[in-house]
Chain A
Amino acid sequence: MSNNIYIYILVMALSTWFMRVAASLVMKKPISNRFLQSFLYYVPYVTLAVMTFPAIIEATQSPVAGAAALAAGIAAAWYGADLFRVAVICCLTVFVLESFIV
């Protein structure tokens, strides 16, 4: 590793913090550019979706269990389960399925 891990942690923390306060530094009036507004609107969902799949089927011992966890998580969130419950349901799906598969 050529990167010092503490510098890495510091840079990660500062860049994250900068995102939090960026609006406070520039906010005089709301963003009015419609494209930029729309772009920023889609960004979080697209990023999280890209990071979730196919990574979720590579994280588990059995890809089938990962895929099932994705399906179960989507179903649970669709029907209104909160963040914590969705996470628990995904874990349980993998645990139960891998007891049979692996």
Chain B
Amino acid sequence: MNRNREIFVNGYKSGIPIGLGYFAVAFSLGIAARSYGFSAAQGFLASLLTYASAGQYMGFALYATNAALIELVLLTFIINARYILMGFALNQRMPEGTALHTRLLVSSCITDEIFGITIARPGVPTPFFTFGALIAAVPLWALGTALGISMGNILPLRVVSALSVALFGMFIAVIVPPSRKDKAVGLAVLTSFALSFAFSNLPLISNLSEGNRTIILTIMISAVFAALAPRTGESGDGLSDAQSSGGDSHE
């Protein structure tokens, strides 16, 4: 038990710098959430329960367009598809016979960053570590969202404008390093930029909701690249580590 407590404290400490990063980004999410009609309490609740940046941003935007719940579910699935990969990677490290509740508890803590530190930690993933990190990081995420919503409007317009790109900066930080390592990913990203731009400007197509455009483009582009440039297995970044450890075994 003391050992588990030690692991928990360890996870908590690792989660603090993550939480500080979350706080800043969540502030920008809060500014967006406010414009989509969320109160500070609602934003706090959404961030506390969801703790997923890109998915929440899209969810808030969908709420504002009064999208159907089924559209929300589908888009949340698509946008967070990487969590499935991360879930596979974490499970791959847990020995056969690991209790289902242990698997569920570990994978319930998945965020890009918590997945990163969990995978980076040697040994079998344990819920004590992942919950330690989650409990440190997620309240800061929720607090940042609430403050972004409540203070976004008292900040000068120029500051709001500057902060509103923080979230996109975070997305860029996720997509660029693998694009550098893997030409196919880089090409997929450039194709996505180009087609997304085209889709938001072309007549007729631009009438689709932002959410629908994202679903259509994601499925289309990912399927074409999966067919033309199938993954062979190994590359350096976290996501393809998730991929390759889904395919190889690391016993």
Q: A16-B76, A22-B84, A90-B168 are in contact. Are A38 and B231 (CB under 8 A)?
A: yes
Residue of B nearest to A95 (CB): B162
Q: Is the CB of A44 within 8 A of B72?
A: no
Instruction: Tell me which residues across on chain B come within 8 A of A61, comparing CB atoms.
Output: 157-158, 161
Question: Which residues 125-179 of B have a CB within 8 angstroms of A?
Answer: 157-159, 161-179
B contact residues, total (Cβ < 8 Å):
102
- The verdict on A52 contacting B171 (CB below 8 Å), with A42-B221, A46-B189, A47-B218 known, is yes
Contact assessment for A77 and B177 in the assembled complex, using a CB-CB cutoff below 8 Å:
yes
Interface residues on chain A, size class: 35 or more
Complex partner residue of A11 from B37, B69, B158, B189, CB under 8 angstroms: B69
Overall SS of chain B's interface:
helix
Task: Verify B246–A31 contact, CB threshold 8 A.
Answer: yes
Contact (Cβ within 8 A) B164 A60 = yes
| Complex alpha-carbon distance, A86 and B4, angstroms | 35
Q: Which of B30-88 contact A (CB under 8 A)?
A: 37-38, 42, 45-46, 49-52, 54-59, 63, 66-67, 69, 72-73, 76-88
B10 near A: Cβ within 8 Å?
Answer: no
Rounded to whole angstroms, the CA-CA distance of A19 and B111 in the bound complex is: 11
Instruction: Specify which of B37, B82, B166 is in contact with A43 (CB 8 Å cutoff).
Output: B82
Kindly identify which residue among B25, B55, B214 contacts A12, using a CB–CB cutoff of 8 Å: B55
Query: A88 and B104: CB pair below 8 A?
Result: no
A37 to B5, CA, bound (A): 37
Give the chain B neighbours of A5 by CB distance below 8 A: 37-38, 42, 63
Is B24's CB under 8 angstroms from A95's CB? no
Q: Are A41 and B240 in contact (CB under 8 A)?
A: yes
Contact across chains for A102 and B158 when beta carbons are under 8 A apart: yes
- Interface hits, B202-251 → A, CB 8 Å: 213-214, 217-218, 221-223, 225-227, 229-231, 239-240, 243, 246-247
A45 and B197 contact, Cβ closer than 8 Å, known pairs A9-B49, A20-B110: no
Contact: A38 with B168, CB < 8 Å?
no
Contact A16 B52 (CB under 8 A): yes
CA A30 to CA B25, docked complex, whole Å:
34
CA distance A27 to B82 in the complex (A): 16
By CB atoms of chain B within 10 A, which of A12, A66, A93 has the most?
A12
Chain A positions within 8 Å of B, measured between CB atoms, are: 1-3, 5-13, 15-25, 27, 30-32, 34-56, 59-61, 65-66, 69-70, 73-74, 77-78, 80-95, 98-99, 102
18 A-B contact pairs sorted by A residue (CB < 8 Å): A8-B69, A12-B59, A15-B73, A15-B77, A19-B76, A23-B91, A42-B225, A43-B222, A45-B174, A45-B239, A49-B175, A49-B196, A56-B168, A83-B173, A83-B174, A87-B166, A87-B167, A90-B165
Known: A30-B88, A78-B176, A94-B164. 15 other contacts (CB 8 A): A5-B38, A20-B108, A31-B247, A34-B231, A40-B81, A42-B222, A44-B81, A45-B179, A45-B189, A48-B175, A65-B161, A81-B173, A87-B24, A87-B173, A91-B169
